[in-house]
Amino acid sequence: MATPDELTEINYDEQFYPARPSRLRPRARLRGLFPLRPKVARSGKPVGSNPAYVDWLTEESMLADARVISAQFSGVGSMWQNPFANPDPRAAIDKASVWFTAYPISLITKPGKSFLGTLGDEELWQAFEAIGIDALHTGPVKRAGGLSGWDATPSVDGHFDRISTQIDDAFGTEDEFRTLCEVAGAHGGTVIDDIVPGHTGKGADFRLAEMKVDDYPGIYHMVEILPEDWHLLPKVPRGRDSANLDAEAEDQLEKAGYIIGQLQRVIFHDPGIKDTNWSATHAVVGPDGVERRWVYLHYFKEGQPSINWLDPTFAGMRLVIGDALHSLGDLGTGALRLDANGFLGVEKTSEGAPAWSEGHPLSEAANQLIASMVRKVGGFTFQELNLTIDDIKATSERGADLSYDFVNRPAYHHAMATGDTEFLRLTLNASLQLGVPPVSLVHALQNHDEMTYELVHFATLHKDESFSFRGEEFTGDRLATTVRSDLIDRLTGPAAPYNATFTTNGIASTTASIITASLGYDDVSELDTEQIEKVKRAHLLLAMFNALQPGVFALSGWDLCGMLTLERKQVSWLLSTGDTRWIHRAAYDLLDYRPDAHESLSKMPRGVSLYGSLPSQLEDENSFACRLRDILEVRKRYGIATSNQVDVPQVSHPGMLVMVHELAEQPGREGFHQIQVTVLNFSAEAISGSVISEYLEPGGVVIDMFTDDPIAEIDNLHSFAVSLEAHEGLSLLVVPPPEEEPQAVRR
């Protein structure tokens, strides 16, 4: 029986049902489900008039799989054992606090092993455990791209154009995925998979929708255009299956009552390639013999048709939920990333105004359904929502448990590039003021995407609002433009020719190449030992910013190995579409699996590693991995990940950043929270100054959490002095002054 000291306060989930058991983890309960189904033979021409082709497409479709998968969860008692209504970021962080984010095509694999087989390697998880990594995000590994007749076509967006619930053979097998989950679990780890609620690729589901088979058209935002109006549609070039509408065609089809027309913005806008968010299919014959042309919505690329979350068939919803349950219930993952989940609702507005396509209530409702279903089976979700802080708050109230930190990510890069934390302090305080605390966020170093600088919060909803910056009042729009200009000037062009802008979205770069540009290195072909040490020191500073605050900390193989960008000529065939992000997706080798390999199995060229492999780093106490291990050990020991950020105060030096956190209540001391302070120097020079916060109690002793040495005492102004070397960071514990003894009672 628990003693009173062991009892803890019940949480919100438990308050109505105090006997409720702990949340159950997902488990792979559906193994062997699909191999039992007969396979339809390929026979005849791949056209709608061929029943064999239509049957084959149906068998390959995600919607058909969803019907089978979902039925296995109906009427099962385990579906009612977990709380699901409310997001619980701290419960998610307790399961998985530090994430390694993999990218399938960039990992140099173990000889004879696939990508998934390599990620399930016992030695890799031993290295992860030694560093302090307790979760792995696989990235998208299910089949993606499209179908042209009987044949698969390649992905147009790094496998984020999913067309199947099946694992892509290029990355491994379902059994290897399950083994990965088991090995991770043995090391206290969690595997995180992806679902894409916003779109699919042009796979079997889309081809069946074009043919108007059953309820497949209900999956997508697509409208059948009557033959008498085909003159409004663009001609589809030979060898392609669709053509993007120009602005005039978009306007004409809106006036004809077919589509809702212009949206709030055109993501990946590229004149002559993507002028609008709408494209027209070529003529397709269905099983009924009717030839049809459609116009369909795609927020992103032409090969990523958008899912309709409010079609009367609810086919799109069923497809997405089925995919999620397959990952959690069949493969055994513990969490899911929701990709492109901020674009699930679109609605016509007033005449002449863009349609309502971002921050729509339908997106919030859809996200609540997805996240609730995942929580019902014991998992958690995180969302990548590059919208305003207001939108992140709205979707987080009932939706995903965690959100990717798109607001502070460009801000900390700006602080590194300029040596000035003013904009970073502005964004941190804006998040706190608008009700998005850092504990609800995923704070990341590099991922597979560009370093985004759209600054949507300031450039859209708050574009006319006034912000104090550099001694002036800036509108949000001017502020976003100024910060973007700073980043472009300092991190690309002559200052850093090894980085590149990516459309209007951001900068193609690695964390290391952002740092080299910030340090003023315009040539990284022959960095010396001293320069690499400066890069490493700044890289660790960025790790401290992301790890020594509440929330999840995420990093990639490009971070662990200190990868630089690729030369453009190495990936010229990939850059031909204008997607410059390929330069920062170099292949890397975490464990020296194949030291002589020049590329990954997916043909990504091997890049330059400044830090080396993990085995060599873990033997060197001064290495990036070992110093990161020390940071993560402090984070874990003091529970910083689940603490509460209470202050981001003004600073005495432009390069300084201070974040003040309340640690968890100490057992036996009700209402008492120790204070932890993260102090960082984003300047390339040594600085001295004062840390001031109302949360610092006079007389308290400031302890360095890495050395356990006292370094200062808090004065009556609630402050203490501190000195930091270039790109140095400190994690400090405030020990309050001893309570005064009560005075003796006079007789």
Q: Please give the single-letter amino acid code of residue 250.
A: E
pLDDT in tens, 318-350: 999 999 999 999 999 999 999 888 899 999 998
At 508, list the tokens.
Answer: 């193609």
pLDDT at 350: 83
Which residue is it, tokens 């059948």?
224
Count helices and strands in the chain by DSSP H and E runs? 21, 30
466 φ/ψ angles, rounded to the nearest 5 degrees: -95, 135
pLDDT in tens, 399-441: 999 999 999 999 999 999 999 999 999 999 999 999 999 999 9
At 666, list the tokens.
Answer: 């100490």
27 pLDDT band, cuts 50/70/90, is low
pLDDT in tens, 233-288: 999 999 999 999 999 999 999 999 999 999 999 988 889 999 999 999 999 999 99
Sign of CA dihedral 694, 639, 682, 476: negative
Average pLDDT over residues 504-531: 96
User: How would you label 53-85 residue by residue, b for 16+ Cβ within 10 Å and e otherwise?
Assistant: bbebbbebbbbbbbebbbeebeeeeeeeebbbe
Q: How many CB atoms lie within 10 A of CB 494?
A: 7
What's the rounded Cα separation, in Å, for the pair 249 and 256? 10
Three-class DSSP category at 285: strand
Classified by CATH at the fold level, domain 643-735 comes out as Immunoglobulin-like (2.60.40)
pLDDT at 73: 92
DSSP category for residue 326 = I
Domain limits, the chain = 204-297, 405-634, 643-735
At 343, list the tokens.
Answer: 């674009």
Among the listed residues 169, 179, 195, 196, the one whose alpha carbon sits nearest the alpha carbon of residue 602: 169
Strands 719-724 and 466-469: unpaired
pLDDT at 745: 33
Sign of CA dihedral 703, 706, 709, 711: negative
Which residue is it, tokens 């370094």?
711
User: Please, are residues 209 and 222 in contact by the beta-carbon 8 Å criterion?
Assistant: yes
Among the listed residues 414, 426, 418, the one whose alpha carbon sits nearest the alpha carbon of residue 451: 414
The answer, yes or no, to whether residue 40 has pLDDT greater than 90, is: no
pLDDT at 11: 41
pLDDT in tens, 566-588: 999 999 999 988 899 999 999 99
pLDDT at 747: 29
21 pLDDT band, cuts 50/70/90, is very low
pLDDT at 577: 82
pLDDT in tens, 595-616: 999 999 989 999 999 999 999 9
